[in-house]
Amino acid sequence: MKDILTAPFMVEMVRTTTNMYAHGWDERNGGNVSLLLDEREVGESLDAGRVIRTLPTGFAAPALDGKYFLVTGTGKYFKNVQYAPEVNLGIVRLTKGGEEAELLWGFEDGGRFTSEFPAHMMSHVARLAVDAENKVVMHCHPANLLAMTYVHSLDERAFTRTLWQMCTECIVVFPDGVNVLPWMLCGTNEIGEATAEKMKTARLVVWSQHGIYGAGRDLDETFGLIETAEKAAEIYMKIAQLPRLNTITDEQLHLLEARFGVTGREGYLD
C-alpha cells in the first residue's frame, strides 16, 4: 500500500493550505477546504474498511452518501498543515444519507472536521449538480474582498461588474460572476443552505464582512478563482476614492468574451 502522505491529493492539499496561509487569507484557524476524493485513489493508500470513529454531521446529504472527502479540521491553523497533516487534516466517508461521517484517517489528536462542514457539503451537492467534475470547496478570508463588502453595493450584478472592470482577465476566469450573501451567522446550516443556493449559479460566493467560498474542479482552479477575485478587489480598494478616468468598457468585455470563448453571466453586460 502506498504512503498516503505522498498521494497526489494529499501533497496538493498541503501545498494549497500552506499557500493560502502565506497569502494572508487564513489567519489563525480561519478558513477551511474540502476535496472530493476518488474511491480508487483512497484505496491505494488507505484501508477503507478500517473506521477510526464515527462523527455526526448534523445534516442530511443523500447525494453524497458513500463519498470520500479530505477536509481541514476545526480549530486548526493552516500554517501547521505542512508539519502535521495527520493532525490537521482528515479523510471521511459519508454514510447514512450524509448524517454520519466515518473517519478513516487523520485528526489524530481527537479533532474533527471544520465547523463549516455542513456548508461545504451542501455546496458540493449544489456544484456537482451543475458540473460533475467540481470536486473542491474552499473558504477563506481575503482582506480586500472583505473590505469591499463594507464600501460597495452588495448587489451581485454591480459587485461582479466592478470586479470584471478591475482586471482584464476577470471575465475570462469567472464569467459566471460572483454571488453575494449579506452577513449571516457562520457555522450554521442556514448559511450552508444559503451558500449552496448561490453556488447553483456561480462558483464564487462572498460572505459579507466575513470571507468567500469558491468551488472548482481541482485545488489549483479554485485557488486561482479566489486569487483573481481578490486581486481585482485589491485594485478596487486602491482606487475607490479616486476619480476614475478610464475603465474596461462593456464593449471591451464583449471582445474578451469573443476572444476567449466565454460568455459573461446573462444580463450583466449592456
pLDDT in tens, 157-174: 999 999 999 999 999 999
Do 37 and 109 belong together in one domain? yes
Question: Phi, psi (5° rounding) for residue 246?
Answer: -140, 155
Q: Which of 115, 110, 105, 139 is nearest to 215 (CA)?
A: 139
Question: What pLDDT does residue 1 have?
Answer: 79
Do 257 and 146 belong together in one domain? yes
- The neighbouring-strand residues paired with 102 are 54, 93
Task: Please compute the mean of the pLDDT values over residues 48-76 and round it to a whole number.
Answer: 94
Do 16 and 85 belong together in one domain? yes
pLDDT digits (tens, 9 = 90+) for 219-249: 999 999 999 999 999 999 999 999 999 999 9
- The neighbouring-strand residues paired with 207 are 181, 211
- Residue 34: inside a domain: yes
Answer positive or negative: Cα dihedral of 109, 22, 30, 186: negative
CB within 8 A of 41, min separation 6: which ones? 7, 8, 9
Question: Per the structure, how many domains does the chain have?
Answer: 2
How high is the mean pLDDT of the chain? Answer: 96
Question: Phi, psi (5° rounding) for residue 222?
Answer: -70, -45
Banded pLDDT at 264 (limits 50, 70, 90): very high
- Residue 127: inside a domain: no
Q: Which of 122, 168, 166, 117 is nearest to 144 (CA)?
A: 166
CA distance 186 to 258: 39
- Residue 134: inside a domain: no
Q: Looking at residue 187, which CATH number applies to its domain?
A: 3.40.225.10
Evaluate if residue 63 carries a pLDDT over 90. Answer: yes
Q: Looking at this protein, which amino acid is placed at residue 168?
A: T
Its domain, for residue 2, covers 1-115
Q: Beta strand pairing status for 53-56 and 179-181?
A: unpaired
C-alpha cell belonging to residue 4: 498516503
- Residue 213: inside a domain: yes
pLDDT digits (tens, 9 = 90+) for 4-27: 999 999 999 999 999 999 999 999
- Residue 4: inside a domain: yes
Active site residues: 116
- Residue 135: inside a domain: no
- Residue 132: inside a domain: no
